[in-house]
Structure 1
Amino acid sequence: MTQVTPPEEQAGLSMRQLTHLIYGLLAAALLSGGLFGLASVAAIVLAYLKRGDAAGTVYASHFDWVIRTFWWGLLWVALSALATYIFIGWITGLVALVWIVYRLIKGWLALLSNQAPVAEF
């Protein structure tokens, strides 16, 4: 006699858990000072892969938020690295880092309150 088990309601991570994971990976990459740079790449790959599954939900805006934050942050950090040759890159790099941290915190707090992140400027 075989025992039949009911199917699980949900396999894997929920969209909410996945979004927390993405924010966590980005935070780990930032807090490690680039030591865990692959964590940010993994976060972006996850965001791109699951963005279609999240369409029409509040999580889709979080995925877009994270993707924009990553690419704009990467651009400003790269430009700041180039600007270090004329000695202003440290200032612009610091501004870029503060902006990235601000967006990460703002997005994660919006997720905790079940809202979409909204850019104010």
Structure 2
Amino acid sequence: MTQAYPPEDDKGLSMRNITHLIYGLFALGLLSAGFFGIATIAAVILAYLKRGDAAGTLYAKHFDWVIKTFWWGMLWVVLSALATFIFIGWITGVIALVWVVYRIIKGWLALLSGQSPAAEY
């Protein structure tokens, strides 16, 4: 069963393209090991700005997915940084990074298949 995308007007980028842009910016920030960390922040800001426009559509769930991934990832990175004082922060930091990468890949693949990301948080 395929899911039809909601009709969109032809003004500017479509919600689908904006969602791809958000995932792409987030991935760029991660792949560059923080060098383009501003790209990740831009992705989250764009998700916050467009979340209202996408309300009630498939894309709103993707925006929420990216926003929650960012904030949970930030929490775990900060806790891991604090835990480096007791020498386990490096392990938890790597686990947090793998989790964030997993969620970005899972969300982007769900977008490509026309579905919303799973509701596991």
TM-score scaled by length of structure 2? 0.90
Return 5+ residue gaps in structure 2 as ranges. 1-8
Q: 1:120, CA displacement in angstroms?
A: 4.3
The CA distance in 2 between the partners of 1:19 and 1:25, in whole Å, is 10
Return 5+ residue gaps in structure 1 as ranges. 1-8
The CA distance in 1 between the partners of 2:99 and 2:79, in whole Å, is 14
2:29 aligns with: 29
2:10 aligns with: 10
2:70 aligns with: 70
Deviation per CA, 1:61-90, whole angstroms, max 9, x where unpaired? 000000000000000011101111110000
Aligned pairs for 1:1-121 within 5 A: 10-120=10-120
How many residue pairs are counted as aligned between the two chains? 113
CA separation of 1:120/1:68 partners in 2, compared to 1, >3 Å: closer, same or farther?
Answer: closer
TM-score scaled by length of structure 1? 0.90
Amino acid at match of 2:108: W
CA separation of 1:112/1:100 partners in 2, compared to 1, >3 Å: closer, same or farther?
Answer: same
The CA distance in 1 between the partners of 2:91 and 2:116, in whole Å, is 31
Amino acid at match of 1:92: T
Identity level (%):
74
Amino acid at match of 1:97: L
The CA distance in 1 between the partners of 2:81 and 2:13, in whole Å, is 37
Amino acid at match of 1:79: L
The CA distance in 2 between the partners of 1:36 and 1:67, in whole Å, is 18
Amino acid at match of 1:67: I
Q: 1:119, CA displacement in angstroms?
A: 3.6
Supply the RMSD in Å over aligned alpha carbons.
1.0
Q: Secondary structure at the match of 2:72?
A: helix
Q: Which of structures 1 and 2 has the bigger CA Rg?
A: 1
The CA distance in 1 between the partners of 2:103 and 2:78, in whole Å, is 18
